Amino acid sequence: MIRTIMTAMALCMAMTFTANISGLDTTCKGYGQGRQVDENNRPYGAIAFNDELGCYDCRAILDDDKKICLTFDQGYENGYTASILDTLKDKDVKAVFFLTGDYAERNKELVQRMIDEGHIIGNHGMKHKSLPTLSPEEAKKEIMDLHEFVKEEYGCEMQYFRPPCGEYSEQSMAICQQLGYKTMLWSFAYQDWDVNNQPDPEEAFERVSSAAHGGGIYLLHSVSATNAEILPRVIDSLREQGFELGLPDS
C-alpha cells in the first residue's frame, strides 16, 4: 500500500512538472555574447539574454557594476586546475567551477579542494548533453543525476547551472528554474579550449584584461595552459581597473 501511494505521488509530480513547461518555446538557441558593447564595455548580447530570460533566474551578466565573477568549465582534467586553484588561493579570489559528471567522478581530490577553499561548484550536466535536444524528463535527469551525485559524494548542494554547449530554450531554462537552479552563462569568453591551438599568452592577456566590465561573468576553461599562465596577471589587472573579483550574489 505504501509503495503504491509513493508511486502515485511520484507519477503525479512528474505529470505536474511536464504540464508546467509544456507550452513554452522549445527552439534551440546557441548563446554568444557578441562583440558589440555599450558605453560601459558591457556586451549587448549578455544584456539582451538577461532581458529575455531573467524571469527564469537566468543571467549572462551580473547587476553589480563593480564585480567580476571568474568561472571555469571543467569538462576534463588537463593538469592545470591545481595551478589555477593555487593562484586563486594566493590572490584571495573565489570562483565558480562548472563540473560535468565525468569530472566530478574522476577528480575527487580537486573537486574537494574547490569546496574546501570556498569556491562554488556548479552543474554542467551529467553527460554534457544539450538540454533543448532532450525531452523534459531527460533534461531533468541530465541535471539531477549530477546534482544527486555531488550531494551524496561531496555533501554539496549545487545551485548554479551552465547549459552544455551554451545551448538553451525557453523551456529548458524553465526546467532548470523548477529544479531549483539559477542559470549562469557568461559575458566574456574567448577561444581558449583547444589544447592543440592555445592562444599566445600576451595576446590573451590583453584581450581578457581589455574586456573588463561591471557585472562581468568570465568563462574560462581550465584545460588551457594559457589561462593558467596569465591568470595571476589578469586578476591583478582587473583589480587595478577598479573591479572586485568574487562570487555571484545568491
CATH topology for 56-244? TIM Barrel (3.20.20)
Judge whether 221 counts as a catalytic residue: yes
Q: Model pTM?
A: 0.91
> Looking at residue 4, what is its pLDDT?
37
The catalytically annotated residue of 73, 119, 124, 147 is 73
Report strand pairing: 244-245 vs 67-74.
Answer: parallel
**Residue 131 near residue 168 (C-beta atoms within 8 A):** yes
Specify the DSSP class assigned to residue 188: B
For residue 68, give the 3-state DSSP assignment. Answer: strand
> Looking at residue 250, what is its pLDDT?
63
Cα angle 155, 57, 149; round to 5: 20
> Looking at residue 196, what is its pLDDT?
97
> Across the strands, what pairs with 68?
216, 245
* Residue 114 cell numbers, joined: 574547490
> Looking at residue 249, what is its pLDDT?
86
Cα separation, 93 vs 74, in Å, equals: 18
> Looking at residue 22, what is its pLDDT?
78
> Looking at residue 10, what is its pLDDT?
39
Chunk the chain into consecutive blocks of 10 residues (it has 250) and report each block's average pLDDT, rounded to whole numbers: 38 47 92 96 98 97 96 97 98 98 98 98 98 97 98 98 97 98 98 97 98 98 98 98 93
- What is the tens place of the pLDDT at every residue in 34-77? 999 999 999 999 999 999 999 999 999 999 999 999 999 999 99
> Looking at residue 18, what is its pLDDT?
55
> Looking at residue 112, what is its pLDDT?
98
- 31 dihedral zone (left: phi>0; alpha: psi -120 to 50; beta): beta
The catalytically annotated residue of 119, 147, 213, 221 is 221
Judge whether 236 counts as a catalytic residue: no
Cα separation, 230 vs 238, in Å, equals: 12
